[in-house]
Amino acid sequence: MTQQLKKAQVVEWLKADQEIMQILQIMASWQLPDCWLVAGTLRNFLWQKLSQLKGPQNDVDVVFFDDSISYEESEALAAQLAASHSEINWEIKNQAWMHRHNFAEEVPYVSSLDAVSKYPETCTALACRLENGQLVFKALWELKDLANFEVRPTPHFSQNEEYLAVYQKRVTAKNWPTFWPDIKIYLT
Protein backbone atom coordinates (compact mmCIF):
# COMPACT_ATOMS: atom_id res chain seq x y z
CA MET A 1 0.00 0.00 0.00
CA THR A 2 1.35 3.40 -0.99
CA GLN A 3 1.54 6.02 1.74
CA GLN A 4 1.07 9.70 1.02
CA LEU A 5 3.08 12.33 2.83
CA LYS A 6 2.39 15.99 2.26
CA LYS A 7 4.94 18.76 2.64
CA ALA A 8 2.56 20.58 5.03
CA GLN A 9 2.56 17.58 7.38
CA VAL A 10 6.36 17.46 7.36
CA VAL A 11 6.52 21.17 8.18
CA GLU A 12 4.11 20.68 11.09
CA TRP A 13 6.14 17.78 12.49
CA LEU A 14 9.36 19.77 12.21
CA LYS A 15 7.86 22.87 13.83
CA ALA A 16 6.48 20.79 16.71
CA ASP A 17 9.86 19.23 17.50
CA GLN A 18 11.77 21.31 20.07
CA GLU A 19 15.15 19.78 19.23
CA ILE A 20 14.81 20.44 15.48
CA MET A 21 13.64 24.00 16.11
CA GLN A 22 16.55 24.64 18.49
CA ILE A 23 18.98 23.38 15.83
CA LEU A 24 17.37 25.60 13.18
CA GLN A 25 17.55 28.63 15.47
CA ILE A 26 21.24 28.00 16.17
CA MET A 27 21.88 27.64 12.44
CA ALA A 28 20.03 30.89 11.69
CA SER A 29 22.18 32.70 14.25
CA TRP A 30 25.31 31.65 12.34
CA GLN A 31 24.15 33.60 9.28
CA LEU A 32 25.99 31.27 6.91
CA PRO A 33 25.19 31.73 3.22
CA ASP A 34 22.74 29.21 1.70
CA CYS A 35 22.62 27.22 4.96
CA TRP A 36 20.29 24.21 5.42
CA LEU A 37 19.65 21.31 7.79
CA VAL A 38 19.78 18.29 5.49
CA ALA A 39 20.06 14.61 4.71
CA GLY A 40 19.99 11.86 7.31
CA THR A 41 18.97 14.21 10.08
CA LEU A 42 15.68 14.87 8.29
CA ARG A 43 15.27 11.44 6.68
CA ASN A 44 15.64 9.59 9.98
CA PHE A 45 13.40 12.08 11.79
CA LEU A 46 10.64 11.52 9.21
CA TRP A 47 11.06 7.73 9.11
CA GLN A 48 10.75 7.69 12.90
CA LYS A 49 7.57 9.77 12.70
CA LEU A 50 6.07 7.55 10.00
CA SER A 51 7.00 4.22 11.59
CA GLN A 52 6.91 5.07 15.29
CA LEU A 53 10.20 3.13 15.46
CA LYS A 54 13.41 4.52 16.95
CA GLY A 55 16.17 4.93 14.39
CA PRO A 56 19.89 5.53 14.76
CA GLN A 57 21.16 8.65 16.49
CA ASN A 58 23.23 10.30 13.80
CA ASP A 59 25.03 13.57 13.55
CA VAL A 60 23.24 16.78 12.67
CA ASP A 61 23.87 17.41 8.97
CA VAL A 62 24.26 21.09 8.05
CA VAL A 63 25.34 22.46 4.68
CA PHE A 64 26.14 25.94 3.46
CA PHE A 65 27.56 27.33 0.24
CA ASP A 66 30.40 29.84 0.18
CA ASP A 67 32.88 29.59 -2.66
CA SER A 68 34.75 32.69 -1.45
CA ILE A 69 36.54 30.70 1.27
CA SER A 70 38.90 27.78 0.83
CA TYR A 71 38.25 24.19 1.83
CA GLU A 72 40.63 24.62 4.77
CA GLU A 73 38.88 27.81 5.90
CA SER A 74 35.53 26.02 5.55
CA GLU A 75 36.69 23.19 7.79
CA ALA A 76 38.07 25.61 10.40
CA LEU A 77 34.81 27.57 10.38
CA ALA A 78 32.79 24.37 10.74
CA ALA A 79 34.92 23.27 13.71
CA GLN A 80 34.53 26.67 15.36
CA LEU A 81 30.74 26.65 14.90
CA ALA A 82 30.44 23.07 16.16
CA ALA A 83 32.48 23.91 19.25
CA SER A 84 30.14 26.81 20.07
CA HIS A 85 27.35 24.27 20.65
CA SER A 86 29.30 21.13 21.48
CA GLU A 87 26.27 19.42 23.03
CA ILE A 88 25.16 18.74 19.44
CA ASN A 89 27.00 16.29 17.18
CA TRP A 90 27.37 18.60 14.15
CA GLU A 91 28.48 17.65 10.65
CA ILE A 92 28.90 21.01 8.89
CA LYS A 93 30.08 21.09 5.27
CA ASN A 94 30.59 23.84 2.72
CA GLN A 95 29.04 22.47 -0.47
CA ALA A 96 31.32 24.63 -2.61
CA TRP A 97 33.97 21.95 -2.04
CA MET A 98 31.95 18.75 -1.56
CA HIS A 99 31.61 17.92 -5.26
CA ARG A 100 34.83 15.90 -4.97
CA HIS A 101 33.61 13.82 -2.03
CA ASN A 102 32.83 10.72 -4.11
CA PHE A 103 34.37 11.46 -7.51
CA ALA A 104 37.52 13.43 -8.32
CA GLU A 105 36.21 14.76 -11.63
CA GLU A 106 32.76 15.87 -10.44
CA VAL A 107 31.42 19.21 -11.69
CA PRO A 108 31.28 21.80 -8.85
CA TYR A 109 27.90 22.44 -7.27
CA VAL A 110 26.32 25.86 -7.77
CA SER A 111 24.37 25.99 -4.49
CA SER A 112 23.53 23.96 -1.42
CA LEU A 113 20.27 22.71 -2.95
CA ASP A 114 22.10 21.70 -6.13
CA ALA A 115 24.36 19.56 -3.93
CA VAL A 116 21.42 18.11 -1.98
CA SER A 117 19.69 17.13 -5.24
CA LYS A 118 22.77 15.06 -6.05
CA TYR A 119 22.85 13.09 -2.80
CA PRO A 120 22.91 9.31 -3.38
CA GLU A 121 19.30 8.48 -2.37
CA THR A 122 16.07 10.24 -3.28
CA CYS A 123 14.81 9.82 0.30
CA THR A 124 17.88 11.67 1.64
CA ALA A 125 17.66 14.71 -0.67
CA LEU A 126 15.89 16.84 1.96
CA ALA A 127 16.57 20.30 3.35
CA CYS A 128 15.00 22.77 5.76
CA ARG A 129 15.84 26.08 7.39
CA LEU A 130 14.31 29.14 8.94
CA GLU A 131 13.73 32.10 6.63
CA ASN A 132 12.54 35.25 8.40
CA GLY A 133 11.38 33.04 11.27
CA GLN A 134 9.37 30.72 8.99
CA LEU A 135 10.29 27.06 8.46
CA VAL A 136 11.04 26.24 4.82
CA PHE A 137 11.22 22.58 3.77
CA LYS A 138 12.45 21.16 0.45
CA ALA A 139 12.19 17.58 -0.82
CA LEU A 140 14.35 17.69 -3.93
CA TRP A 141 12.99 14.37 -5.26
CA GLU A 142 9.50 14.62 -3.73
CA LEU A 143 8.33 12.62 -0.68
CA LYS A 144 6.90 9.45 -2.24
CA ASP A 145 10.02 7.27 -1.76
CA LEU A 146 10.57 8.52 1.78
CA ALA A 147 6.91 8.02 2.74
CA ASN A 148 6.97 4.44 1.44
CA PHE A 149 10.36 3.54 2.96
CA GLU A 150 11.81 3.08 -0.51
CA VAL A 151 15.48 3.75 -1.07
CA ARG A 152 16.54 4.33 -4.66
CA PRO A 153 19.36 6.25 -6.31
CA THR A 154 18.87 9.84 -7.43
CA PRO A 155 19.28 10.43 -11.17
CA HIS A 156 22.78 11.71 -10.42
CA PHE A 157 23.77 8.37 -8.89
CA SER A 158 21.98 6.39 -11.62
CA GLN A 159 24.08 7.87 -14.39
CA ASN A 160 26.64 5.06 -14.68
CA GLU A 161 28.04 1.93 -13.01
CA GLU A 162 30.74 3.85 -11.10
CA TYR A 163 28.17 6.10 -9.43
CA LEU A 164 25.79 3.20 -8.80
CA ALA A 165 28.59 1.26 -7.09
CA VAL A 166 29.11 4.13 -4.61
CA TYR A 167 25.35 4.28 -3.98
CA GLN A 168 25.15 0.49 -3.47
CA LYS A 169 28.08 0.44 -1.05
CA ARG A 170 26.57 3.31 0.94
CA VAL A 171 23.07 1.86 1.30
CA THR A 172 24.48 -1.53 2.26
CA ALA A 173 26.69 0.04 4.94
CA LYS A 174 23.79 2.04 6.41
CA ASN A 175 21.98 -1.17 7.43
CA TRP A 176 18.61 0.62 7.54
CA PRO A 177 16.53 -2.60 7.65
CA THR A 178 17.82 -3.11 11.20
CA PHE A 179 15.86 -0.03 12.27
CA TRP A 180 13.03 -0.06 9.72
CA PRO A 181 12.20 -3.68 8.75
CA ASP A 182 9.71 -2.68 6.04
CA ILE A 183 12.27 -0.71 4.07
CA LYS A 184 12.77 -1.56 0.40
CA ILE A 185 16.22 -0.88 -1.05
CA TYR A 186 16.58 -0.73 -4.82
CA LEU A 187 20.16 -1.24 -5.94
CA THR A 188 19.68 0.13 -9.47
pLDDT tens digits along 14-40: 999 999 999 999 999 999 999 999 999
Q: Domain holding 45: CATH number?
A: 3.30.460
Helical pair 7-16 and 18-30, crossing angle rounded to 10 deg:
90
58 within some domain? yes
* φ, ψ for residue 144, nearest 5 deg: -60, -50
Domain count, the chain: 1
Within-domain flag for 114: yes
pTM (predicted TM-score): 0.95
Domain-embedded: residue 167: no
The whole domain housing 31 covers 7-150
φ, ψ dihedrals at 108, nearest 5°: -60, 145
In a domain, 33, yes or no: yes
For residue 5, CA distances in Å to 14, 67, 96, 128, 187 come to 14, 35, 31, 16, 24
Asked if residue 174 is part of any domain, the answer here is no
Question: Cα 180–117–75 angle (5° rounding)?
Answer: 90
SS3 71: helix
Tens digits of per-residue pLDDT, 72-108? 999 999 999 999 999 999 999 999 999 877 776 778 9
